[in-house]
Amino acid sequence: MAEPLKHPLAPEERVGYALVGIGKLAEEEILPALEASKRSRLAALVTSDLEDGKRLARRYGLPPEAVYGYDDYDRLADNPGVHAVYIILPNHLHEDYTVRAARMGKHVLCEKPMANSVAEGERMIAACRAAGVKLMIAYRCQYEPHHWAVREMVQQGRLGAVKLVESVHCQVESDPGEWRLKRKEAGGGPLVDIGVYSLNTIRFVLGLEPVEVFAQTYATPDDPRFREVEEQMGWQMRFGNGVLAACLTGYSAFRSSRYRLYAEGGWVGLDPAFDYRGLRLSLGREEGGQQVVEERRFPAPNQFALELDHFARCIQEDLTPFTPGEEGLQDLRLVEALYASARTGRPVRLEAPDKPDAFRGERP
């Protein structure tokens, strides 16, 4: 990873973000991350609750006129202090708010998953390209030091050739009314919400794309939570170099967030892997005929601040983000292939690019 700025930029030199969608993630994670950042600043809030928005504006030093309702979203075009929007809305709204931001000349940082379909993702990329603005998907794990340490260990061959990968990401969703359990709003079940962390991070660590996927889903009969989306999915990915990956995700099992890669000379992984903080990297290898397990520790900066500042740097220096729209689009292609496999009960073959990191931009 590149060396971070030693000193924060002055407020007037920073990229101004409008946060679009002020829910739990925005209030508990992203607003504090903007305070911890070095290149970014809060410039506006877009919310359905104007009074709550004004409360947060006071807390973070914004004037009340910097709080917008969704009906006023397009007025951001008249705010020169807003250089980019960070879209933190339900998945089915990502395309509309991205396309409208592009038309306003605002750069777009969009939460994952990028959209509910490949077609939506393609339109988002096309709109940003036509408007000359940048589009980045918020894959925070690709900006975090522990994940980069695993990636470098794997890609430099320090444990020999990787042969197998496993990952589990599950949690309990107990509210049948949760939008993540509605197909129209979410686009799918745990695969697109939390399973995508396993999918995306394995691609990132290996730097490669799968050539074949196979998936199975299950939903408990008569459980009101899973009338529209899967309860759980298990899937396999085969890569062109022979690596096999096995992943599990679900909405009715106790929280787990981990992955591990098995190589000829040892294994390495994170547990927890996808949490906002407290990540732990473990490494196992043989010494003197016995397996030795050690934990590697790294500084743990704010993950959201890292991705915000990377996008800000890309805007300031006219660089392609490390996780551009094309990276999000590739995940959507794989998601659609996995659902197709689950429906048919058959593997789905895929075209994989010849070069590593085919869909990524400038290293963070």
- Beta strands at 162-172 and 244-250: parallel, antiparallel or unpaired: parallel
Residue 15 pLDDT class (50, 70, 90 cuts): very high
Residue of 17, 68, 86, 112 marked active site: 112
Closest C-alpha to 359, from 308, 310, 325: 325
Point out the domain boundary residue: 115, 140, 165.
Answer: 140
Looking at the domain assignment, is residue 306 inside a domain? no
- Strand positions, DSSP E, 15-91: 15-20, 40-46, 67-68, 84-87
- Beta strands at 232-239 and 210-218: parallel, antiparallel or unpaired: antiparallel
How far is C-alpha 237 from the chain's CA centre?
19
Looking at the domain assignment, is residue 286 inside a domain? yes
Instruction: Please give the mean pLDDT across all residues of the chain.
Output: 97
How far, in Å, are 86, 167, 242, 247, 304 from residue 26 at the CA level?
10, 27, 40, 29, 10
Same domain, 161 and 254: yes
Same domain, 36 and 128: yes
Residue of 73, 86, 139, 197 marked active site: 197
**pLDDT, tens digit, 9 for 90 and up, residues 308-363:** 999 999 999 999 999 999 999 999 999 999 999 999 999 999 999 999 999 999 99
To the query of whether residue 355 is one of the catalytic residues in this protein, the response is no
Q: What is the CATH number of the domain that holds 204?
A: 3.30.360.10
Instruction: Let me know if 40 is exposed, middle or buried by CB neighbors in 10 A (0-12, 13-18, 19+).
Output: buried
Same domain, 166 and 264: yes
Q: What is the CATH number of the domain that holds 98?
A: 3.40.50.720
Same domain, 128 and 275: no
Residue 258 above 80 pLDDT?
yes
Q: Does the predicted model carry a pTM greater than 0.95?
A: yes
Looking at the domain assignment, is residue 317 inside a domain? no
**pLDDT, tens digit, 9 for 90 and up, residues 119-133:** 999 999 999 999 999
Residue 3 above 70 pLDDT?
no
Task: Please give the DSSP secondary-structure letter assigned to residue 264.
Answer: T
194, 248 Cβ separation under 8 angstroms: no
Least confident of 197-206, 216-225, 270-279, 292-301: 292-301
| Tokens 């299950």 -> residue | 218
Residue 288 pLDDT class (50, 70, 90 cuts): confident
Tell me the C-alpha distance between 205 and 87, whole Å. Answer: 26
| Structural domain span for residue 192 | 141-299+323-349
- Rounded to the nearest 10 degrees, the angle between the axes of helix 118-131 and helix 325-344 is 170
Same domain, 128 and 166: no
Tell me the C-alpha distance between 3 and 105, whole Å. Answer: 30
To the query of whether residue 197 is one of the catalytic residues in this protein, the response is yes
Same domain, 216 and 183: yes
- Beta strands at 107-110 and 84-87: parallel, antiparallel or unpaired: parallel
What would the mean pLDDT of 159-167 be, rounded to a whole number?
Answer: 98
Point out the domain boundary residue: 140, 171, 200.
Answer: 140
Closest C-alpha to 143, from 271, 327, 345: 327
Same domain, 147 and 128: no
Task: Please give the DSSP secondary-structure letter assigned to residue 159.
Answer: T
